[in-house]
Amino acid sequence: MADVHECSILKDSFSEERNAPRVKRRNLLFSDYTIRKRQPFGIVKRRDKDIFVTNKTNFKAQVKKCEKLLNNGNSEVIIHGLGAAIHRACSLALQLKEIHYGGIELDIKTSTASIIDDFEPLDDNADYETINRNNSAVHIRVFRKFSIGSLKYQE
């Protein structure tokens, strides 16, 4: 157990760390720059079974696409959602589970995705800027509990 004097030293060093000056990010005027957002899932190879959910795509179309993949012999579909689209990705997975009457299981993983924004100046006087930021992501593996072939009647 720490001595009383050690605790006071730790407390002082902690308060000094907390009050240390931080590097302040320069405020960028968005009217002077064009923002280019890089693709966040650049590392993930796009496979046939990957579904990337956004807030702009039609929800019913995404359900139909997942259904088509599951009915065409794929045993699993992986749904990816980033940031504000996490809610839609979860809703999509739960909708698929409801459609299949619980014959589907979900394996959910969360992560943090690093996103890079490029600021391109509109005039020659400004410099190019890049900002790194983190965003939450979810990856939901939707798979069948049992294969369809085992459900067929066998003589």
Give pLDDT tens digits for 68-94. 998 888 889 999 999 999 999 999 999
Q: Measured between alpha carbons, how far is 62 from 138 in angstroms, rounded to an integer?
A: 16
Task: Enumerate the domain spans of the chain.
Answer: 45-115+133-144
Residue 85 has what pLDDT? 94
d(CA 54, CA 90): 12
Pick the CATH number of 45-115+133-144 from 3.30.110.20, 3.30.413.10, 3.40.50.300, 3.40.50.2300: 3.30.110.20
| 16 beta partners | none
- For residue 115, the model assigns a pLDDT of 87
What is the per-residue pLDDT for 155? 47
Contact present, 130 and 117 (Cβ < 8 Å): yes
Q: Phi and psi dihedrals of 153, rounded to 5? A: -70, 130
Spell out, as residue ranges, where the chain has pLDDT lower than 70. Answer: 1-31, 41-45, 146-155
